[in-house]
Structure 1
Amino acid sequence: MGSLRVYAITGLLVASLSTVAHAAKLEDVAPYPKAETGFTRQVIHLPKQEQEENFQVEILAGKTLEVDCNRQRLGGTLVEKNLEGWGYPFYRLENVSGPMSTMMACPPASQKKRVFVPVIGDGFKLRYNSKLPVVVYAPSDVEVRYLIWSASEKVGTALPE
């Protein structure tokens, strides 16, 4: 049988242009287009890793909303685009919908709180590549965060049953 790679969260980082102090300005890398009206261009500069094939980046786009005890989420799709003439990927968050919520009755004493509500959908796990910035075009009211995932040193073996 095959082996199983276990991925572990290595850190939650908030995306910004100054993620890595020595990162090149986006304009020095390639001519990424400016954000359209109603969108922002948000950039993640990933630190160099040994064996980058053992890492992934998960885009956590969402909004900070006031919510009750129910589970909340937004819907959307992260679409990979290609920078013409360069072959570099960039991403556009499209069709953000919601919030959607479970409909449980909350306990009488529960209070609403402000929390980050993520967009759940397709295309949010990306290959790790510190040589290029991760450029995300998102609606202006959406914040882009990210997780770095790494493969565990421990490899399990499936058992035949």
Structure 2
Amino acid sequence: MKFSKALIAGMVIMLGANASGQKTAEKFEKLQIDMFPKAKEGYKQVYIQLPVAKNEDQLKVEFFVGAEKELDCNRHFMIGEIKTQDLQGWGYPYYDVESKGEVKGTLMACPDKKLTKQFVTLTPEIVRYNSKLPLVFYVPKGMEVRYRIWRADSTMNRAVQK
């Protein structure tokens, strides 16, 4: 009985130490976004600040612009466009989203006609990772921007020659 309590206590301590070791502080460059234009009527400005990372040239950022909608079993996508703009005098890119939030989808018959909340997006884009520059977006109110980081595999594979 004493052995199992000691074993459990030891495991709890190890798990706690491991969990605290996994929480590393992310470093961020202090970014300025004041030079970017203000959002126009009906739009909002949002931005992504990426943490400083080792080997940033091996990373990419994929971003998704969309909204949560109640949808059926079909595959859905949002109609609109993401336009890359240049911040005049600075050379920094920013993204203007043109969309009315309209959704299109496949026309499969959904037997249960059940609706579920899904994040439906415009066509996602992949850009280079750069922690020194913010990714600035102008999106219609009611839409949001989500993103994920892509990392290159350290192993380079060869193609097979026929």
TM superposition score category, shorter chain reference: 0.7 to 0.9
Q: Does 1:145 align with 2:138?
A: no
Instruction: Please give the secondary structure, in 2, of the residue aligned with 1:152.
Output: coil
Instruction: Please give the secondary structure, in 2, of the residue aligned with 1:65.
Output: strand
Task: Tell me the CA shift for residue 117 of structure 1.
Answer: 0.7
Which amino acid in 2 is paired with 1:53? D
d(CA) in 2 for partners of 1:128, 1:47:
10
d(CA) in 2 for partners of 1:155, 1:21:
29
Match of 2:123 in 1: 120
Task: Tell me the CA shift for residue 77 of structure 1.
Answer: 2.4
Match of 2:114 in 1: 111
Q: Does 1:132 align with 2:136?
A: no
1:110-143 per-position Cα deviation (integer Å, ceiling 9, x unaligned): 521111111126xx21111100111011111211
Structure number with the higher strand fraction is 1
In the superposition, the TM-score normalised over structure 2's length comes to 0.76
Pairwise CA RMSD: 2.0
Match of 1:4 in 2: none
Q: Choose 1 or 2 for highest CA Rg.
A: 2
Q: Does 1:82 align with 2:86?
A: yes
The answer (yes or no) to whether the contact 2:39–2:138 under 8 Å persists in 1 is yes
The answer (yes or no) to whether the contact 1:39–1:137 under 8 Å persists in 2 is yes
Which amino acid in 2 is paired with 1:71? R
Compared with structure 1, are the counterparts of its residues 155 and 96 closer, same or farther at alpha carbon in structure 2 (3 Å cutoff)? farther
Q: Does 1:33 align with 2:37?
A: yes
The answer (yes or no) to whether the contact 1:77–1:96 under 8 Å persists in 2 is no
* Stretches of structure 1 lacking an aligned partner (at least 5 in a row): 1-19
Task: Tell me the CA shift for residue 21 of structure 1.
Answer: 8.2
Which amino acid in 2 is paired with 1:118? T
Match of 1:24 in 2: 30
Which amino acid in 2 is paired with 1:81? Q
Match of 1:11 in 2: none
The answer (yes or no) to whether the contact 2:63–2:147 under 8 Å persists in 1 is yes
Q: Report 1 or 2 for greater relative contact order, CA contacts < 8 Å, sequence distance ≥ 6.
A: 1
d(CA) in 1 for partners of 2:82, 2:53:
24
d(CA) in 2 for partners of 1:96, 1:119:
11
* Stretches of structure 2 lacking an aligned partner (at least 5 in a row): 1-25
Which amino acid in 2 is paired with 1:24? K
In the alignment of these two chains, the number of paired residues is 137
Which amino acid in 1 is paired with 2:82? L
Match of 2:156 in 1: 155
Instruction: Please give the secondary structure, in 2, of the residue aligned with 1:120.
Output: coil
Match of 1:71 in 2: 75
